[in-house]
């Protein structure tokens, strides 16, 4: 799963076409994401920034296939079909996402078990991932015995161990102090590099956003992918739905 595919794969990890997501119905309906489009090629490092409630999490969840858009289409041209895809997408959630009854090791191994990775290999990958995020000494702890920051690092380790081609991290540094947050971003970057994976991080921390190649902005449910900044390899398509510019925020 980790080895690069022998045949050249399509360059896009995920592609969103005019996706929208509405919660609730009728008068109480809340539009979390308005028609937004983007393309994430393999190897890209993207930060999505924006105020809370701007729809970052929902956007990320749709890119992960965890949430179905109410309009538009999400596709994963470079990833295998449905059955195998989940294992290829690693998600770091904003809120605690460790299984409370499993130890750190068991939590990190869980996606590997679901994928049917042989025990010996799984163990090796888990150990490696724990070392990367520097939580080896917490291996036998239960989630409730961890601090918020430690739990977040374990969640990242879980993503690393599953060796995904697309890493989506939702505010991964929210629980961490500055030093630990920076370290975590380094680890995510290094892993993405090693796996030749696409990395998308949603954050409100500009320091974190600055570490990535590209910065997209989310405002009131609209994704702007043409933010002026440190653009490099990939050039995301401008969204035709997003005609009004939100303007400088700060």
Q: Which residues bind another protein (CB under 8 A)?
A: 23, 30-32, 50-55, 57-58, 61, 64, 66-67, 86-87, 91, 93-103, 106, 109-111, 113-116, 142, 144-145, 147-150, 158, 171, 174-180, 204, 219-221, 249-250
Closer residue to another protein in complex, CB, 60/212: 60
Closer residue to another protein in complex, CB, 11/66: 66
CB of 58: closest distance to another protein in angstroms? Answer: 8
CB of 222: closest distance to another protein in angstroms? Answer: 11
Kindly give the residue spans of alpha helices, DSSP state H, lying in 20-168.
56-64, 82-88, 104-115, 119-132, 148-161
Helices 178-195 and 119-132 cross at an angle (nearest 10°) of: 140
Closer residue to another protein in complex, CB, 43/182: 182
Among the listed residues 175, 187, 170, the one whose alpha carbon sits nearest the alpha carbon of residue 147: 175
Closer residue to another protein in complex, CB, 218/234: 218
CB of 192: closest distance to another protein in angstroms? Answer: 19
CB of 82: closest distance to another protein in angstroms? Answer: 10
Which regions of 24-165 does DSSP assign to beta strands (E)?
A: 30-41, 45-49, 71-75, 89-92
Segment holding 203, helix H or strand E: strand 198-203
Closer residue to another protein in complex, CB, 17/170: 170
204 close to 50: Cβ distance less than 8 angstroms: yes
The sign of the dihedral angle between the CA atoms of 230, 47, 157, 120 is negative
225 close to 236: Cβ distance less than 8 angstroms: yes
CB of 178: closest distance to another protein in angstroms? Answer: 7
Segment holding 179, helix H or strand E: helix 178-195
Residue with structure tokens 């933010």?
227
CB of 26: closest distance to another protein in angstroms? Answer: 14
Closer residue to another protein in complex, CB, 15/57: 57
């Amino acid at each position: 799963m980790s080895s690069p595919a022998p045949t050249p794969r399509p360059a896009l990890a995920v592609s969103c076409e005019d996706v929208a997501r509405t919660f609730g119905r009728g008068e109480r309906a809340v539009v979390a994401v308005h028609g937004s489009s983007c393309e994430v090629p393999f190897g890209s490092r993207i930060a999505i920034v924006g105020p809370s409630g701007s729809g970052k999490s929902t956007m990320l969840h749709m890119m992960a296939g965890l949430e179905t858009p109410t309009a538009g289409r999400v596709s994963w041209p470079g990833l295998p079909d449905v059955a195998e895809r989940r294992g290829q997408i690693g998600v770091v959630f904003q809120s605690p996402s460790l299984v409370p009854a499993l130890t750190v090791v068991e939590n990190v191994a869980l996606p590997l078990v679901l994928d049917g990775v042989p025990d010996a290999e799984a163990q090796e990958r888990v150990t490696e991932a724990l070392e990367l995020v520097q939580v080896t000494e917490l291996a036998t702890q239960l989630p409730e015995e961890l601090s918020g920051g430690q739990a977040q690092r374990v969640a990242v380790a879980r993503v690393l161990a599953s060796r995904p081609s697309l890493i989506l991290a939702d505010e991964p540094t929210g629980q961490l102090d500055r030093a630990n947050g920076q370290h975590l971003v380094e680890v995510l970057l290094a892993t993405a590099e090693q796996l030749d994976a696409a990395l998308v991080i949603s954050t409100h921390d500009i320091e974190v956003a600055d570490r990535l190649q590209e910065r997209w902005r989310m405002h009131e449910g609209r994704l702007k992918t043409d933010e002026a900044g440190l653009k490099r390899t990939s050039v995301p398509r401008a969204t035709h739905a997003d005609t009004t510019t939100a303007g400088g925020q700060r």
